[in-house]
Amino acid sequence: MLSLRDVANGSLTIDIYRYLVDLFKALPYAKVADDYEALLPWKLGKPARKPTVCSLT
């Protein structure tokens, strides 16, 4: 589990918290290998949110 987190956090631009929430919601429904493959960070993970800049002008 930690290695999946490290992959998602290190090499991909994925919001790790959102990935783990989605993973734990979907994991009980995975039954076959294709289901588990769909849960890998580069397939399930959503892009990390970019900080927004607020202009005061």
Would 31 be classed as within a structural domain? Answer: yes
Instruction: Enumerate residues 6+ apart whose C-beta is below 8 A from 23.
Output: 4, 39, 44
Would 28 be classed as within a structural domain? Answer: yes
Would 37 be classed as within a structural domain? Answer: yes
User: What are 22-50's pLDDT values in tens digits?
Assistant: 889 999 999 999 999 888 887 776 555 55
Would 29 be classed as within a structural domain? Answer: yes
Would 57 be classed as within a structural domain? Answer: no
Instruction: Check residue 30 and give its pLDDT.
Output: 92
Would 54 be classed as within a structural domain? Answer: no
Q: How many domains does the chain have?
A: 1
Instruction: Check residue 4 and give its pLDDT.
Output: 59
- State the Cα–Cα distance between residues 21 and 5, nearest whole angstrom: 12
Instruction: Check residue 32 and give its pLDDT.
Output: 94
